[in-house]
Amino acid sequence: MPQLLFFSRIDDPGQWRSTLARLAPDVTMRIWPDEVDDVAAIDCALVWKPPPGLLARLPNLRLIQSMGAGVDGLLADPELPAHVPMARVVDPLLTQCMTEYVVLHTLYHHRLMPLFARRQAEGTWQEIVAPPAQERTVGILGLGELGIAAARALAGLGFRVCGWSRSARSVAGITCRSTAAGLAEMLAETEILVCLLPLTAETEDILGANLFAQLPHGAALINCGRGRHLVEADLLAALDSGQLAGASLDVFREEPLPAGHPFWAQRDIVITPHVASISHPESAAQLVVENIRRVWDGLPPRYQVDPARGY
Ligand SMILES: NC(=O)c1ccc[n+]([C@@H]2O[C@H](COP(=O)([O-])OP(=O)(O)OC[C@H]3O[C@@H](n4cnc5c(N)ncnc54)[C@H](OP(=O)(O)O)[C@@H]3O)[C@@H](O)[C@H]2O)c1
């Protein structure tokens, strides 16, 4: 009878409990801390941003299952039990929701909405026509589960789409690049840049002045990776100078974004509160159950994280 520790400050434990009870009645879900009276009885942990040191307190842990796609928070735990396999969520609904977010905000910038929002505030009628999608290049940083799905959807709308990844990739209809030289080539033609990278030592602060300067003047940024990808002061400077025309940000260095943060008052920035795509239990629980079963059968979990790689 596997015992599953559950910890999240934002996900609804009731939904997870009822879904897991239906899919795997033999798994007992215990919410940390109230329902855990014996840490030695816990076999697996389903967690989102657990307090550092929590997982190290579970001596018989066999699986760490992240509730989200990104695992930077888990890997930052200095006491993370390195011998326990860790898996992240890859789920069709999570991917679909991220694709919706990327398409929505790409179209917002493509159709010059930050400019029209300014004109509306001034009461100005000015006919400026956006180019067709076929004349617009969208660049996607990160061609993983989420990046590839977003790239395909944008290509389906007619955009020219480029993507950048760590290893060389091949995706039909998408210009795929890797390496630093490949990134420079992609940035030179990218008018709308989407960040769907994991946060690692290599990708932290990647969205900074040096990168912005390589984009065509008046480009737009969509960051739905992590807040620490972005150098916030550099974004404000790039918007002030016109090098960037607008930005959509879902993730921030500090969440919730503090009151008084300059982003709140920057009208060329669209702010969403880290909701681009979250895990829906009714869909994501299937992977969680599959991974518990796999670990019980002595197999590695699906979508296992490589701590050395950082994602
Ligand atoms: N805002 C939200 O609501 C939300 C929701 C879900 C996820 N996210 C973020 O989205 C990220 C991506 O998720 P995913 O499922 O698509 O991840 P994934 O499948 O692991 O894909 C990551 C992609 O980034 C590339 N990459 C990693 N490090 C790189 C580097 N140093 N240089 C160039 N490319 C690099 C990888 O290259 P390879 O192909 O060579 O491995 C891969 O293409 C998550 O880590 C999370 O931070 C945000």
Structure tokens at 117: 């929002």
Determine whether 262 is exposed, middle or buried from the number of CB atoms within 10 Å of its CB (0-12, 13-18, 19+).
exposed
**28-47 pLDDT tens trace:** 999 999 999 999 999 999 99
What fold, for 92-271?
Rossmann fold (3.40.50)
Is 166 annotated as catalytic?
A: no
**172-186 pLDDT tens trace:** 999 999 999 999 999
Could you tell me if 32 and 9 are in contact, meaning their C-beta atoms sit under 8 angstroms apart? no
113-122 and 92-110 are packed helices; what angle lies between their axes, rounded to 10 degrees?
A: 50
SS3 119: helix
Nearest to 141 by CA among 223, 238, 245: 223
Q: For residue 195, give the H/E element and its range.
A: strand 192-195
CA distances from 176 to 96, 168, 246, 266 (A): 21, 7, 25, 33
Residue 277 half-sphere exposure, CB side, CA atoms within 13 Å? 30
**110-165 pLDDT tens trace:** 999 999 999 999 999 999 999 999 999 999 999 999 999 999 999 999 999 999 99
Radius of gyration of the chain (CA): 21
Q: Please say whether the structural domain 3-91+279-296 has been given the CATH code 2.70.98.70.
A: no
Substitution site in 166, 271, 277, 287 for ligand 1 pocket (most atoms within 8 Å of beta carbon): 166
If you count them, how many residues does the chain have? 311
**47-96 pLDDT tens trace:** 999 999 999 999 999 999 999 999 999 999 999 999 999 999 999 999 99
* pLDDT-based confidence at residue 283 (cuts at 50, 70, 90): very high
Nearest to 176 by CA among 215, 149, 140: 140
- Residue 45, strand partner residues: 5, 64
**What does pLDDT average to over the chain?**
98
Q: Where do the domains of the chain lie? A: 3-91+279-296, 92-271
Q: Is the CB of 74 under 6 A from ligand 1?
A: no
Instruction: Please state, in angstroms and rounded to a whole number, the distance separating the CA atoms of residues 211 and 107.
Output: 22
> Which residue's CA lies nearest to atom 6 of ligand 1?
69
Asked if the domains 3-91+279-296 and 92-271 are classified in one and the same CATH topology, the answer is yes
Substitution site in 165, 199, 229 for ligand 1 pocket (most atoms within 8 Å of beta carbon): 165
Determine whether 193 is exposed, middle or buried from the number of CB atoms within 10 Å of its CB (0-12, 13-18, 19+).
buried
Q: Is the CB of 147 under 6 A from ligand 1?
A: yes
Cis-peptide into 256, omega within 30 deg: yes
Q: Is the CB of 144 under 6 A from ligand 1?
A: yes
Question: What integer pLDDT is reported at residue 212 of this predicted model?
Answer: 99
The DSSP symbol for 257 reads: P
Question: What integer pLDDT is reported at residue 161 of this predicted model?
Answer: 99
| In the block, residue with structure tokens 């390589």 | 214
Task: Kindly give the residue spans of alpha helices, DSSP state H, lying in 35-190.
Answer: 72-75, 92-110, 113-122, 145-156, 179-189
* pLDDT-based confidence at residue 273 (cuts at 50, 70, 90): very high
Could you tell me if 70 and 83 are in contact, meaning their C-beta atoms sit under 8 angstroms apart? no
Q: For residue 33, give the H/E element and its range.
A: none
Could you tell me if 176 and 141 are in contact, meaning their C-beta atoms sit under 8 angstroms apart? no
pTM: 0.97
Segment 103-116 shows an average pLDDT of 97
Share above pLDDT 90 across residues of the chain, in percent, rounded to a whole number: 100
Question: What integer pLDDT is reported at residue 300 of this predicted model?
Answer: 98
Segment 256-283 shows an average pLDDT of 97
Task: Kindly give the residue spans of alpha helices, DSSP state H, lying in 29-156.
Answer: 72-75, 92-110, 113-122, 145-156
Q: Is the CB of 221 under 6 A from ligand 1?
A: no
CA distances from 247 to 17, 75, 154 (A): 38, 28, 18
